[in-house]
Structure 1
């Protein structure tokens, strides 16, 4: 583990404390321009997301309509009923985005795929960067107002679903995550700068509860009037690793 990541992991609660947990659930409200561009209705009501901390899996309750939930892994996405009956399913879901741009409409499985990997990423950062297969290096820092944020470039392993292969993460003077830069490849590869704030400590782990992803210009600056995705988290809970047995 490179020193920058080691410092960030420690600032967020430490690897041993993270590994003591198995899953995380949180209530979230999601907003932003992306959903209108994708012809996706967001009610604005809180829903619950569940993620596995040590493999890429996520599930969102009440997706599409009450009583349905998503079931996401990189190679499969499905919509399940309350009784776990499969309502819709897509294998190799990444391929279904071929040819998409920012305005290509999404169906419910597209939405579940994007939401699955995006929520998993923002709830597990920076700990996900300790997983097998990442290539990491420190990059030039970013100045935001009076602060200097240290930068970390990550090349993601192909087995993980994510925004893009190469992504940048920035950490404040306290080494907490402040910003995440990437291209949304499944939506025309538009550039985004995602900001993290309002951290809370849950069972010793620091989680940012306010996240805002803006369209990014050529100078790497966010465009404030173009809020693509906003996420507000509450009621964050961990469950122990033992509860994952057989999942």
Structure 2
């Protein structure tokens, strides 16, 4: 599909992407979703290392720099910085709790949530070229004074994600600027900007998730999720 081809080329191209296998990020993740769960500073100034081929991410420096947490689709772990296992959770889920507790109240679920979102953020738009991802181009969207092209993607059950169906928006340079999807029972608009080139791969370094109104527009406050990537290394 032409739009997807343009988006992949704008982010470095499939040839460059396929020549790499691992990433290391220096980043911070916050927002009211974290603060309301009692984790306002759990993921501030952390290192995320992972595979670009399989869903796995290890965060070093969580909980004030004292611990590490690892995400994989079948298990989540929290460890000391020297590798001592503290807690583990098998077959995690993003399901909304029915007992009134916050979905991210437990640190294991917080690691799972951050692992899912960071891995999928980092691998898009290349992720959309997978043969098991169904995509279709939607009519363009007018965002303020810009016209953004859109792709709707249906993601396979084998791919752990925040939502199985998502709509991706791309600006006139074919850079990803927004993603719409369901999140913990709400409809959100996830914005991305301030793209930078790290070793031939272009990544948005600022991301912000906002509540979406019925007409598709976003509400400026509260900021549910706020992500800043300070540096990225691909190898």
Q: What value does the CA root-mean-square deviation take over the aligned residues? A: 1.9
The correspondence of residues 32-43 of structure 1 with structure 2, limited to 5 A, is 32-42=31-41
Q: For residue 5 of structure 1, what is the aligned residue in structure 2?
A: 4
1:125 Cα deviation (Å)? 1.1
Q: Distance in 1 between matches of 2:179 and 2:150?
A: 9
Give the secondary-structure state (helix, strand or coil) at the position aligned to 2:41.
Answer: coil
1:45 Cα deviation (Å)? 3.9
Aligned length: 235
Matched, 1:217 2:213: yes
Picking from 188, 192, 199, the partner of 2:188 is 192
TM-score (norm 1): 0.88
1:132 Cα deviation (Å)? 4.0
Unaligned runs of 5+ in 1: 240-247
TM-score (norm 2): 0.93
CA distance 1:38–1:132, shift in 2 (3 Å):
farther
* Maintained 8 Å contact 2:104/2:110: no
Unaligned runs of 5+ in 2: none
Give the secondary-structure state (helix, strand or coil) at the position aligned to 1:64.
Answer: helix
Give the secondary-structure state (helix, strand or coil) at the position aligned to 1:60.
Answer: strand
Q: Distance in 2 between matches of 1:196 and 1:174?
A: 14
Q: For residue 162 of structure 1, what is the aligned residue in structure 2?
A: 161
Give the secondary-structure state (helix, strand or coil) at the position aligned to 1:93.
Answer: coil
The correspondence of residues 114-129 of structure 1 with structure 2, limited to 5 A, is 114-129=113-128
